[in-house]
Amino acid sequence: MKTKNVKRFFAVMAATTLVVGMVAGCGNTVKADEVSKEESSGPKEIGPDLTVGFAQSGNPNPWMVALTESMQQSADEYGVNYIYTDANDDMATHVANIEDMLAKDLDILVIAPMEDTGLEAVLDEAAEKGVPVILSARTTQGEYVTTVYSDQAWEGERCAELIGEKIPDAKVVELRGIEGTSSVAGREKGFRDVMAEQYPDMEIVVEQTANFSRQEAMDAMANILQAKGPDAIDAVYCHNDEMALGAVQAIKDAGLTPGEDIQVVGIDGQKEAWELVKSGEMLGTVQCSPKHGPTVFEVIQKILDGETVQKETIVPDQVITKENVDESESLVF
């Protein structure tokens, strides 16, 4: 059943605030003022009377699987009426899934966007129906309450520092994720900002899109090593750990020693990457926690309680290196 607090909240938000997400390729998040809400008539507990929908864009890698599991676990813990859809990385399916959800008596909609654009129409529809939208993992253009995600520019900055502290004039291969996503834009910008400010002698010698895929990264890295030669590469900056794992395998297949001949850094905090950091085959991984479920439901409770919600809800992360690898095991997934 639609709660009065939720309806009242989103009606005011829709009238006063248009939230514009990260524009594809720019790497900058446009921040608006805090969301305005009327005073609610009192706190409402999350429970079986509340219907929460989660529109997952897809589960192509362990990070997205962990996000899906975290959302399901939190939904179970709170006992809400939970609707889940998986678009299998197809944008048309993603939009259709969201439209189907909005046709139901939905109280809160959570979306893991596939791209920086393409959901504007369904976000408008959610606003018209009075359904607050929370984004997870990535941001997108359109109207929504908040995005629950990691600071992706910060992740890129930390990766640049890891490489720069080891090799200030490193020749770097950049293996990029899915183009047109906020994660790629942020990680690109953060890395380049630190290069320019702290390590002007560092150079990106090859950029290759590998779509967050281990296999694509392994194939790309094998081709790069063959074309450039190992002496022309000091480090590999990967936009996620799946690609870092692929790069490490390609380096090994080329008869080289990762961690000695070529340094590899990744992002996510995946268990396999953590193990390679511990063994010295990866220089480090920057945590990007997929465990968004608890934070998402904290935001839902704030909405129900009529509290102020910021446009960005940042999940705190850590840098994992060989120096702190043992005490960071609880962070990985």
Per-residue pLDDT of the chain (333 residues; tens, 9 = 90+): 455 455 544 544 443 333 333 333 333 333 333 433 333 344 457 999 999 999 999 999 999 999 999 999 999 999 999 999 999 999 999 999 999 999 999 999 999 999 999 999 999 999 999 999 999 999 999 999 999 999 999 999 999 999 999 999 999 999 999 999 999 999 999 999 999 999 999 999 999 999 999 999 999 999 999 999 999 999 999 999 999 999 999 999 999 999 999 999 999 999 999 999 999 999 999 999 999 999 999 999 999 999 999 999 999 999 999 999 999 999 999
Task: Encode the chain in three state secondary structure.
Answer: CCCHHHHHHHHHHHHHCCCCCCCCCCCCCCCCCCCCCCCCCCCCCCCCCCEEEEEECCCCCHHHHHHHHHHHHHHHHHCCEEEEEECCCCHHHHHHHHHHHHCCCCCEEEECCCCCCCCHHHHHHHHHHCCCEEEECCCCCCCCCEEEECCHHHHHHHHHHHHHHHCCCCEEEEEECCCCCHHHHHHHHHHHHHHHHHCCCCEEEEEEECCCCHHHHHHHHHHHHHHHCHHHCCEEEECCHHHHHHHHHHHHHCCCCECCCEEEEEEECCHHHHHHHHHCCCCEEEECCCCCHHHHHHHHHHHHHCCCCCCEEECCCCEECCCCCHHHHHHCC
| Residue in 160, 154, 189 with CA at minimum distance from that of residue 288 | 154
Same-domain check for residues 145 and 202:
no
Assess whether 140 and 8 both reside in one domain.
Answer: yes
Looking at the fold, whether 113 and 212 belong to one and the same domain comes out as no
Does residue 141 sit in the same domain as residue 167? no
Residue at token pair 């939009």 = 95
Q: Judge contact between 153 and 189, C-beta under 8 A.
A: yes
Closest CA to 235 of 190, 286, 170, 280: 170
Tell me, yes or no, whether 173 and 271 share the same domain.
Answer: yes
> Are residues 298 and 166 located together in one domain of the fold?
no
Same domain, 48 and 8: yes
Whether residue 13 is found in the same domain as residue 106: yes
Domain check: are 85 and 112 in the same one?
A: yes
In this predicted structure, what is the pLDDT of residue 4?
47
Domain enclosing residue 306, as ranges:
4-149+290-315
Q: Are residues 12 and 112 in the same domain?
A: yes
Provide the phi-psi class of 129: left if phi over 0, else alpha when psi is between -120 and 50, else beta.
Answer: alpha
Cβ proximity of 276 and 245 under 8 Å: yes
Residues 263 and 304 in one domain: no
Q: What is the CATH number of the domain that holds 100?
A: 3.40.50.2300
First-to-last alpha carbon distance for the chain, in angstroms, is 35
pTM (two decimals): 0.85
Do 76 and 182 have their domain in common? no
Residue 3: the pLDDT is 52
How many structural domains comprise the chain?
Answer: 2
Domain annotation covers residue 326: no
